[in-house]
Amino acid sequence: MSKKSRFLINQETVFNIFLIRGYLYSCFTIKKYLMNRNIIFLLIFLFFISCNVKISDTEKGKILLKISDNTNDSVFEKNFELEIILPVETTNEYLFSQVERVILHDDKAIILAPGKEGIFVVNINTGKVLTHIHRVGQGPGDSNNILDIAFDENKSEIIVFNDYEKLLFFDLQGNFLKEVKIGKLYENIIYLNGNIIFNNIGFGYSCQPYVLDIYDLNTEKLTHKGNNIKLDFPFKNFGRSIVKSKNIWLSARLDFNMYKVTIDGFENPYVLDMDTTANNELRKKQINSEMDFQTFLNEILKINRSFHSVSSIRETDNFMVFKPNNFGLFFMNKQNSEVYREGRITDSNLGLSLLNYFPHDGDDNRIMFVIRAVEWLQRLPAEQALLPQYLVEKIRFMEVKEDDNPILLFYKEK
């Protein structure tokens, strides 16, 4: 059985596991890809076994993550401590209000700002902008809009994917090196071992969130992996759908699965143990184009009272950290697979409410939060003697104004 077929079977089962109608749809899809009746019979048998057994530790190799009832202790404050405060230098030229992607490399943070604001290479110790890639136009190395960035750690090259369907390559000093025409538009790119992984190809008002197109930089060949399931009316989660930490983790809309991305495609080691009936129904109607856009939005609002998906998955030594589509943050203990949800993340030392968890890229055992300058000024405690001395010294020389660039806070696992 091919890897593509195995992934397709796994996906369709996830989508329809609670509904017999969904099961029949899965069988139809399986039949298109697998002609061996013995294999189909075995899959049907395993499907009914999984429906008759209570959800416990595993389901077809996946670990089902149960949310713990223990809400007494803050997992975040107990296991993470503030390490880096990064106020990005603000000038008339170096100005942005939000971040689209942050990649850590050695003593540098590579920040993609939205729209035409460009890419900032920042020294994480001083906050000084070392390089600003801001090339607007249609010539070589230019972009109208940058869709996403990646980083080649071996060559120290910034890789840009723009709305001209091109890959652009720059060094850390901002020098343009080369460009490659890809010919399709994707939402995300990630670098992995000499390959660029493209995720979530778009088709107007539709998308394919489980598609992986892998471009080998050495052979210049594009390989197709994953699943061609097409969803209508795509909407964007608050977080990022693909993040690189100890591994590359992928999430999707209306989906509680966490997918590990490799050169060979997907693995699906974890799924959050939730009632996914509403999500499955919406997915089936999207796939079959049975729903108009306004109805889809209305249905999303109904289930949005709790949450309908997860995103922004980062992995540290001992935890998987990810977020729902609404407020709060999940911490999964990798040792026992217990999941703790914290509705309000705070730093009691700084007096800050850390509302904006944002997953950066880098295997550095950290998680990051983005704080607006005005929030920093309003909430920073006057009693700074309670802080570690190196943080006191750093804060003392921070000249932050209300309209400055956001401040990045990096917390390292203790």
Pairing of strands 146-152, 62-65: unpaired
Closest CA to 43 of 80, 82, 5: 5
Name the residue among 299, 279, 280 with its Cα closest to residue 22.
Answer: 280
- CA gyration radius for the chain? 22
CA distance 82 to 412: 6
CA distances, 93 to each of 117, 132, 320, 371 (Å): 9, 9, 37, 21
What are the domain boundaries of the chain? 1-53
Q: Which amino acid is at 301?
A: L
Tens-of-pLDDT digits for all 414 residues of the chain? Answer: 433 333 333 333 333 333 223 332 333 333 333 334 343 333 333 333 232 222 233 445 689 898 887 666 789 999 999 999 999 999 999 999 899 999 999 999 999 998 789 999 999 988 999 999 999 998 999 999 999 999 999 999 999 999 999 999 999 999 999 999 999 999 999 999 999 999 998 777 778 889 999 999 999 999 999 888 887 766 666 689 999 999 999 998 888 899 999 999 889 999 988 877 777 787 777 776 677 777 877 777 776 556 788 999 999 999 999 998 877 899 999 999 999 999 889 888 787 889 899 999 999 999 999 999 988 888 765 555 567 676 777 776 678 899 999 999 999 999
Question: Are 256 and 249 a contacting pair, CB within 8 Å?
Answer: no
* 336 Cβ contact partners less than 8 Å away, ≥ 6 residues apart: none
Exposed, middle or buried by CB within 10 Å (0-12, 13-18, 19+), for 362? buried
Token couple for 398: 């921070």
Nearest to 412 by CA among 367, 370, 369: 367
pTM exceeds 0.85, yes or no: no
With contact defined as beta carbons under 8 Å apart, do 309 and 324 qualify? yes
Instruction: Report whether 258 contacts 320 (CB < 8 A).
Output: yes
Residue bearing tokens 């900032």: 120
- Long-range CB contacts (within 8 A, 24+) of 300-309: 300/235, 302/278, 303/278, 303/279, 308/253, 308/254, 308/278, 308/279, 309/237, 309/251, 309/252, 309/253, 309/254, 309/255, 309/256, 309/279
